[in-house]
Amino acid sequence: MTEELREHVAEELLRSRARSTALTDAVDEHDLVRQHSKLMSPLVWDLAHIGNQEELWLVRDVGGREPVRSDIDEYYDAFKYGRSVRPELPLLNPKEARQYVGDVRGKVFDVLEKVPLQGRRLVENGFAFGMIVQHEQQHDETMLATHQLRTGEPVLHAPAPPRGKLVPATEAFIPGGPFEMGTSDEPWALDNERPAHTVHVDAFFIDTTPVTNAEFAEFVLAGGYDDRRLWTEAGWEHRTTAKLVAPRFWQREGNSFTRTAFGVTEPIVPDEPVVHVCFHEAQAYATWVGKRLPTEPEWEKAARFDPETGRTRRYPWGDGEPTELHANLGQRHLRPAPVGAYPAGVSASGVHQLIGDVWEWTSSDFHGYPGFEAFPYREYSEVFFGPDYKVLRGGSFGTDKSAIRATFRNWDYPIRRQIFAGFRCARDA
């Protein structure tokens, strides 16, 4: 078991590093050090930060080894300096950053070979290694979002996603009653996904697919952005000050739209899930169609609950790991797949594409579950609990399979649009 686990950890470390390398080798030195948006760090910051977190947890803490570079810790501490000021810090240059992450990784493989993967909660089932793999993959998704904000010739390329297929029902009925939410036994689940607990959810309907570009374009053309009644007070204020008129990266030409993604401009694809909308835009659209956003427990029940057995599944399709037949994950394609493209990934209730394609806004604030315990550090999630953040679920085409589960919880400000976020609607039964 331990050997198998070590091999699995090693494979995941290599896979995440291959992705970080591809994302940073794709651009020149100038593009690595410059800030493509105030919302993002320079790519070279993400790279060295990945190495620094890996050093802190795996080299120093788990391995008990001497620091590789203790002089740079503060510049890569995400809590000390916000994204907007990071370009002014005395950061490692691209060559130094590559050298640094390589040196750290060399030591980590040595630690992985020698350290017992038991006896301490931090290393049980390889948790600390899994946390670092997920951390790197999360920053890879962040770097992918930076690529989306970068201007210039396209540098990333990927094959087209599978074709969409007809999904006969537009809504699925989810029966009322209790279900088990969260997890206590998923080995690499993070603190905010724990513990498993019973939640009662009233019966509801949820859309079988995410809202598409064609559907969202109708909302724009119908004047949805100018109809005060559709927006909450905070939403209207934001729409007004930020001058929102359409999803981010859309351009309007008469009554049609193009969008720019990773340097390529093309007409919007009608049956592809809409992406780069903020919570407020999602909420206004849902109101326009006479629905609402799902709550977080509703989303998870639609994804995991099997009405036949009453059992909660690990993923919508069952307990097996995601394959490329189940979901659009891992930057395999550089866009969401059209609706219906993953019939093998459907949930027991008949809901499609809950995992992958686009992060889905829920109406819920980010809070700890009953019995929540911060682990291994408060800054992972506890310091973000409260009304400032909305929960997003399911992962996007830019999320790696190691960093998504049907229990996985992401959170962000309701005004954020640079993330790969879309949504689906729900309504009371």
Provide the Cα torsion 405, 410, 415, 421; round to 10°: -20
Positive or negative torsion for Cα 121, 123, 127, 132:
positive
Peptide bond just before 195 cis, omega within 30 deg = yes
Q: What is the DSSP letter of 116?
A: -
Given a contact cutoff of 8 angstroms between Cβ atoms, the answer to whether 172 and 205 are in contact is yes
Is 157 marked within a binding site?
A: no
Is 393 marked within a binding site?
A: no
DSSP for 279-320, please give it. HHHHHHHHHHTT-BPPPHHHHHHHHHB-TTT-PBPSBTTBSS
Cα–Cα distances in angstroms (integers) from residue 61 to residues 47, 64, 79, 120, 122, in the given order: 20, 5, 19, 11, 9
The DSSP bridge pattern shows strands 359-366 and 421-422 to be: parallel
Here the tokens at position 237 are 């204020």
What type of residue sits at position 329?
A: L
State the residue for tokens 């057995």: 309
Cα–Cα distances in angstroms (integers) from residue 174 to residues 63, 205, 232, 393, in the given order: 47, 6, 27, 18
Is 84 marked within a binding site?
A: yes
What type of residue sits at position 265?
A: T
In this structure, what are the phi and psi dihedrals at residue 405, rounded to the nearest 5 degrees?
Answer: -145, 165
With a CB cutoff of 8 Å and minimum separation 6, the contacts of 234 are 280, 414
Is 49 marked within a binding site?
A: yes
Exposure of 2 by Cβ count < 10 A (0-12 exposed, 13-18 middle, 19+ buried)?
A: exposed
Annotated binding site: 49, 83-86, 135, 139, 412, 416
Numbered residues of the known binding site for gamma-L-glutamyl-L-cysteine: 83-86, 412, 416
Q: Residues forming the annotated binding site for Fe cation?
A: 49, 135, 139
